Amino acid sequence: MVVGVIVPFVFGGDAYTDGLLNQVLINAILAFGFYWCFSLGGQFTFGVFAMYACGAYVSVWGSKHLPGGFWAGFLLAVLVTALIGAATRLVFYRLGPIFFAIATMAVGGLMLIVFREWTSLTGGYYGVGSFPKPDVFGFTLNTLQLRYFLMLGILGLLLAATIAVIRSSSMRDLVFTRDRRFVAATTGVRTTWVLLVAFIVGSAIQGAAGSLYAHNSSYFSLEAFDISISLNVLLMVLLGGVRSIYGPLIGAALLILLPEFLRDYQKYSDLIYAGVVLAIVVLFPDGIAGIRGIAQGWLRARRR
């Protein structure tokens, strides 16, 4: 987190760079929601894009119509996406992993249809704008750099809370259920409850990311949300490290910033980008976060 505080002062300063840094944090929070569903809960979902959109639209509505402005909208987005996540998990609880993933994609598609037709809420493809910017203790965060620190703080709280869960006895039940669901049920673990909580938390975090995306923008429309978001989030977690709590942050930074570093090589940028992604997948099965473990193993082997 200390590095995160320093980054905007070293690399930021202009609107374009600050916007990129903010997008890294938004994507990291979104990927962190998927990490809760998939890495911790073992539940693959294609519905990330819909939760992201829902968080954005609900947050904007709440900030306009509820006392409390941005924070009211933010909390409402978290609550609504958590409820949708709970309903999705409960309705499709008996489905296997593959069919559940397909079901989440179908639910996401239905949600986008609802958003397209519910123009009083979303503006349809015309989009929405003119909504309150985030504020802290009455101080409006009216610059990209100020909003960066808000997002960094929220990401820090999510990391701290997740680390606390990982270090608690609850993690044992979570891992047991994720890896041996039916065996865990025979030992008295409430597998339904464990999976439900993991999916609810992941969905709520995805809604929070949508809220931050909306209020970091001056305008957005339905075209900003499609299934490619879910695929990108999956790639972020895989490249960063499925089993590492820092994997989503590493993956988000890689996918957002790598194309920027390749701007001077536009002719070969797609080839280089694909090559880097392929090299990471092949050489580091545990993602970039797993490089440390590989290096430690190599050093131990050398000492012997």
pLDDT, tens digit, 9 for 90 and up, residues 216-274 = 988 898 888 989 999 999 999 988 988 889 899 999 998 888 888 877 777 777 787 78
Number of domains observed in the structure of the chain: 1
Confirm whether 290 is domain-assigned. no
pLDDT band at 190 (very low <50, low <70, confident <90, very high): confident
Confirm whether 278 is domain-assigned. no
| Mean pLDDT along residues 185-192 | 81
Helices marked H in the chain — which ranges?
A: 2-11, 15-34, 48-65, 69-91, 97-117, 119-122, 144-166, 170-179, 181-186, 191-216, 228-240, 247-261, 269-283, 291-303
Confirm whether 65 is domain-assigned. yes
Q: What is the dihedral of CA 143, 147, 149, 150, to 10 degrees?
A: 150
Say which residue, 214 or 182, is predicted with more confidence. Answer: 214
Confirm whether 221 is domain-assigned. yes
CB-CB neighbours of 96 under 10 Å: 8
C-alpha dist (Å) from residue 5 to 9, 11, 146:
8, 11, 11
Phi, psi of 75, deg, nearest 5:
-65, -35
Whether pLDDT at 195 is above 80: yes
pLDDT, tens digit, 9 for 90 and up, residues 23-54 = 999 999 999 999 999 999 889 999 999 999 99
The confidence score (pLDDT) of residue 111 equals: 94
Domain enclosing residue 96, as ranges: 2-7+15-226
Confirm whether 165 is domain-assigned. yes
How many angstroms separate the CA atoms of 69 and 235, rounded? 34
C-alpha dist (Å) from residue 146 to 1, 6, 133:
16, 13, 11
CB-CB neighbours of 189 under 10 Å: 18
pLDDT, tens digit, 9 for 90 and up, residues 133-142 = 888 888 888 8
The confidence score (pLDDT) of residue 73 equals: 94
Confirm whether 254 is domain-assigned. no
Confirm whether 24 is domain-assigned. yes
Confirm whether 252 is domain-assigned. no
The confidence score (pLDDT) of residue 196 equals: 92
